[in-house]
A and B are shown apart, each in its own frame.
Chain A
Amino acid sequence: DVVMTQSPLSLPVTLGQPASISCRSSQSLAHSDGNTYLNWFQQRPGQSPRRLIYKVSNRDSGVPDRFSGSGSGTDFTLKISRVEAEDVGIYYCMQATHWPPLTFGPGTKVEIE
């Protein structure tokens, strides 16, 4: 199974400042079809996860453009250009290249300082 790791696991941020979360996979997530199936999810307190980014860098409909994804191979990053109060929650990366099983990172808790 592909193991996903994230850092940091806790991220205190100041409103209006940038934030960055790293996600690494135990093997390359490049698929033979040319895509890389690395997705990012946000889970606000008490809510279901919501997908923000799919295939590394594609924002889902309705996701603010302050969220961006990048990376390739085994190293990926989610960036928030200017953190807002509504961004508080836990962020997960997930790989869907080598499945079953789908595997998730442990999550990064973003909170306001």
Chain B
Amino acid sequence: QVQLVQSGAEVKNPGASVKVSCKASGYTFTAYFLHWVRQAPGQGLEWMGRINPDSGGTDYAQKFQGRVTITRDTSITTAYMELNSLRSDDTAVYYCVVDSQGRDWGQGTLVTVSS
């Protein structure tokens, strides 16, 4: 059974960075792309980027280019999403998602950006 367990909620000041982790289990970690999707309060779903856990190759949404970095550590089957220069409108729940058809989702990590 696929499980994606994300790190806990974060509160950050504007201008800071946040790094969210996603621990995967129950499948071959390197076999499927892993995506990050965010959801601002009361809003819809927004794709941020993805990583190929096998090669480490990434794609990012244009909106987040230069501000987001997705990495992985295959030894511990964990992916990471780091977002820099945080603004108040980055306040959202961040989800990791297995495979490009959205098959399985993590529980979400609330990131609050506030001074």
| Chain A positions near chain B (C-beta within 8 angstroms) | 37, 39, 41, 48-51, 54-55, 60, 92, 94, 96, 99-107
* Residue from B37, B44, B61, B102 within 8 A of A96 (CB atoms): B102
| Chain B positions near chain A (C-beta within 8 angstroms) | 35, 37, 44-47, 49-50, 59-62, 95, 100-108
* Docked-complex contact B106 and A102, CB < 8 angstroms: no
Bound complex: CA A101 to CA B61 (Å): 6
Bound complex: CA A103 to CA B103 (Å): 15
* Docked-complex contact A101 and B47, CB < 8 angstroms: yes
* Residue from A39, A48, A104, A107 within 8 A of B47 (CB atoms): A104
- Given the contacts A100-B47, A100-B50, A104-B47, A39 and B101 also touching, CB distance less than 8 Å: yes
Jot down 15 A-B pairs with beta carbons below 8 A, ordered by A: A39-B102, A48-B108, A49-B45, A51-B104, A54-B101, A60-B103, A100-B49, A100-B50, A100-B59, A100-B60, A102-B35, A102-B100, A106-B44, A107-B44, A107-B45
Closest to A46 in B: B108
B residues near A48, Cβ cutoff 8 Å: 95, 105-108
A residues near B61, Cβ cutoff 8 Å: 100-101
Bound complex: CA A50 to CA B47 (Å): 15
- Given the contacts A48-B95, A48-B108, A99 and B100 also touching, CB distance less than 8 Å: yes
B residues near A104, Cβ cutoff 8 Å: 44-47
Q: Closest Cβ of chain B: how far from A19's Cβ, in Å? A: 19
Closest to B58 in A: A100
Q: Closest Cβ of chain B: how far from A109's Cβ, in Å? A: 11
Bound complex: CA A40 to CA B61 (Å): 21
Bound complex: CA A48 to CA B61 (Å): 21
A residues near B44, Cβ cutoff 8 Å: 92, 104-107
